[in-house]
Copies of this chain bind each other. A is one copy, B any other.
Amino acid sequence: DQRRILGQQLREEWSKYSLFPRASKAAEFVEGKEVTVHGFLSRRRVKHSKLVFADIQVNGPSIQITSSFVDLDTPGHLTSQALRAIPLYSPVSVTGTIAKIHGEPGSASRIDLDLNSIQPLNAFPKDIIVSDGVQFPPSSRHLQIRFSDPLRARLLARPQIGFQLRKSLNGLGFTEVETPILFKSTPEGAREFIVPTRRKGLAYALPQSPQQYKQILMSSGVRGYYQFARCFRDEDLRADRQPEFTQLDLEMGFATGEDVMRTIESLVSELPAALNAQFRMVKNGDEIYPISKHGLGPKDATDDLQWLDLPSPFPRLTYQEAMARFGVDKPDLRVPFEIRRVDQVLTPDFISMITGLESPIVDAFRFRPEPTGEVASDSSSAFVDDLMKSLPSALAKNPDGAPVALVFNTKRPLCGLSSLGHLGFEGLTGESSGLGDFEDLEDGDILVFQARENKAFQGGSTALGTARNLVYQSAVSKGLLPRDLSFKFLWVVDFPLFTPDNKADPGQGGQAGFSATHHPFTAPLTDEDVELLATDPLKARGDHYDLVVNGVELGGGSRRIHIAKMQEYIMREILQMTDEGVGQFSHLLEALRAGCPPHAGFALGFDRLVAVFTHTDSVRDVIAFPKSMKGEDLTVKSPGRITSSQLATCHLAFAGRK
Taking beta carbons and an 8 Å cutoff, which residues of A are in contact with B? 3-4, 6-8, 10-11, 13-15, 17-18, 20, 22-23, 38-40, 57, 59, 87, 89-91, 93, 121-125, 128, 139-146, 152, 155-156, 158-160, 162-163, 166, 170, 175-185, 191, 193-199, 201-206, 212-213, 216-217, 219-223, 230, 232, 234, 243-244, 246, 253-254, 259, 523-524, 527, 530-531, 533-535, 562-563, 565-566, 569, 573, 584, 586-587, 590-591, 593-598, 623-625, 627, 630-631, 633, 635-642, 646-656, 658
A11 nearest CB neighbor, chain B only: B530
Asked if A563 contacts B17 (CB within 8 A), the reply is yes
Q: Which of B176, B179, B569, B595 is in CB contact (< 8 Å) with A40?
A: B595
Cα–Cα distance between A630 and B202 once the two chains are bound (Å): 12
Asked if A14 contacts B591 (CB within 8 A), the reply is no
A176 nearest CB neighbor, chain B only: B159
Cα–Cα distance between A152 and B183 once the two chains are bound (Å): 22
5 A-B contacts, Cβ less than 8 Å apart?
A14-B530, A90-B595, A124-B594, A124-B595, A201-B641
A644 nearest CB neighbor, chain B only: B655
Asked if A182 contacts B232 (CB within 8 A), the reply is yes
Give the residues in chain B near A636, CB-CB below 8 Å.
183-184, 212-213, 216, 587
Give the residues in chain B near A163, CB-CB below 8 Å.
166, 170, 176
Cα–Cα distance between A243 and B159 once the two chains are bound (Å): 27
Give the residues in chain B near A141, CB-CB below 8 Å.
216, 220
Q: Which of B91, B220, B562, B656 is in CB contact (< 8 Å) with A142?
A: B220
A626 nearest CB neighbor, chain B only: B180
Give the residues in chain B near A534, CB-CB below 8 Å.
3-4, 6-8
Give the residues in chain B near A181, CB-CB below 8 Å.
181, 206, 230, 232, 244
Give the residues in chain B near A124, CB-CB below 8 Å.
594-595
Cα–Cα distance between A155 and B177 once the two chains are bound (Å): 7
**Shortest Cβ distance from A3 into chain B, in angstroms?**
5
A254 nearest CB neighbor, chain B only: B38
Cα–Cα distance between A340 and B615 once the two chains are bound (Å): 65
Asked if A223 contacts B59 (CB within 8 A), the reply is yes
Give the residues in chain B near A183, CB-CB below 8 Å.
633, 636, 638
Asked if A652 contacts B647 (CB within 8 A), the reply is yes
Q: How many copies does the complex hold?
A: 2
Give the residues in chain B near A202, CB-CB below 8 Å.
639-642
Among A13, A145, A232, residue most surrounded by chain B Cβ atoms (within 10 Å)? A145
Cα–Cα distance between A360 and B203 once the two chains are bound (Å): 49
Asked if A635 contacts B122 (CB within 8 A), the reply is no
Cα–Cα distance between A405 and B615 once the two chains are bound (Å): 72
6 more contacts with CB within 8 A, not counting A40-B221, A125-B593, are: A4-B534, A10-B563, A15-B530, A163-B166, A178-B230, A651-B656
Cα–Cα distance between A647 and B196 once the two chains are bound (Å): 9
Cα–Cα distance between A569 and B13 once the two chains are bound (Å): 13
Asked if A573 contacts B6 (CB within 8 A), the reply is yes
A197 nearest CB neighbor, chain B only: B639
**Shortest Cβ distance from A586 into chain B, in angstroms?**
8
The answer to whether A7 and B639 touch (CB under 8 A), given A23-B254, A162-B176, A194-B650, is no
Asked if B654 contacts A569 (CB within 8 A), the reply is no
Give the residues in chain B near A158, CB-CB below 8 Å.
176-177
The answer to whether A563 and B204 touch (CB under 8 A), given A244-B180, A597-B91, A655-B648, is no
**Shortest Cβ distance from A14 into chain B, in angstroms?**
5
**Shortest Cβ distance from A334 into chain B, in angstroms?**
29
Asked if A10 contacts B566 (CB within 8 A), the reply is yes
Q: Which of B87, B182, B222, B587 is in CB contact (< 8 Å) with A145?
A: B222
Cα–Cα distance between A533 and B535 once the two chains are bound (Å): 77
Cα–Cα distance between A152 and B139 once the two chains are bound (Å): 45
Cα–Cα distance between A185 and B216 once the two chains are bound (Å): 33
Cα–Cα distance between A182 and B626 once the two chains are bound (Å): 10
A566 nearest CB neighbor, chain B only: B10
Asked if A122 contacts B90 (CB within 8 A), the reply is no
Asked if A640 contacts B203 (CB within 8 A), the reply is yes
The answer to whether A3 and B573 touch (CB under 8 A), given A178-B624, A565-B10, is yes
Give the residues in chain B near A635, CB-CB below 8 Å.
216, 587
Asked if B22 contacts A259 (CB within 8 A), the reply is yes
